[in-house]
Amino acid sequence: MPLRMTNQREIVLRELQKSKKHLTADELYVIVKKVMPRISLATVYRNLEILSETGLIGKLEISGRQKRFDYDPGEHDHIYCVICHRVDNLDIAHEDWTPEQLRNVAGYSITGYRLEILGICPDCQKKQKKKEKI
């Protein structure tokens, strides 16, 4: 059955795509509330889950951290700032990684993969350098 695109769902999707960021439900709620003041946080959460289940957006569940939702549902990896928690898309060539090569890693039947890279974003690096000069 095709997904019924309610007005609330449409606004949640549009605002996430417009942001071009990997937002948490709470962050997106603040944005959506400006457009639709009567929307609840629970409605934003529910619609994000539905949109991710149907493949219209991506869901990032970065090890032990709050879920983030990705405006771009296509295959790509992410890099995570360990200081400010910013998440950015990462374009890494995967030509050498084929499902056939990963088929029986440690006896597992591979259903997908996620490359998680941690680092310090450019903004946080600048802030650290300013602190070092003081």
Q: Domain map of the chain by residue range? A: 1-73, 75-134
Q: Do the bridges between strand 58-60 and strand 77-81 make them parallel or antiparallel, or are there none, so unpaired?
A: unpaired
Predicted local confidence at residue 104, as pLDDT:
65
Decide if pLDDT at 62 tops 90: no
For residue 82, the SS3 value is: coil
State the chain's mean pLDDT as an integer: 86
Q: Is residue 68 predicted with pLDDT exceeding 60?
A: yes
Q: What's the pTM value of the predicted model, to 2 decimals?
A: 0.76
Alpha-carbon distance 32 to 65, whole Å? 22
Residue 14 pLDDT? 96
Let me know: does 36 contact 29? Beta carbons within 8 Å.
no
Reported as a single tens digit per residue, the pLDDT across 80-110 is 888 988 888 887 776 666 666 666 677 777 7
Fold of 75-134: Dna Ligase; domain 1 (3.30.1490)
Q: What is the CATH number of domain 1-73?
A: 1.10.10.10
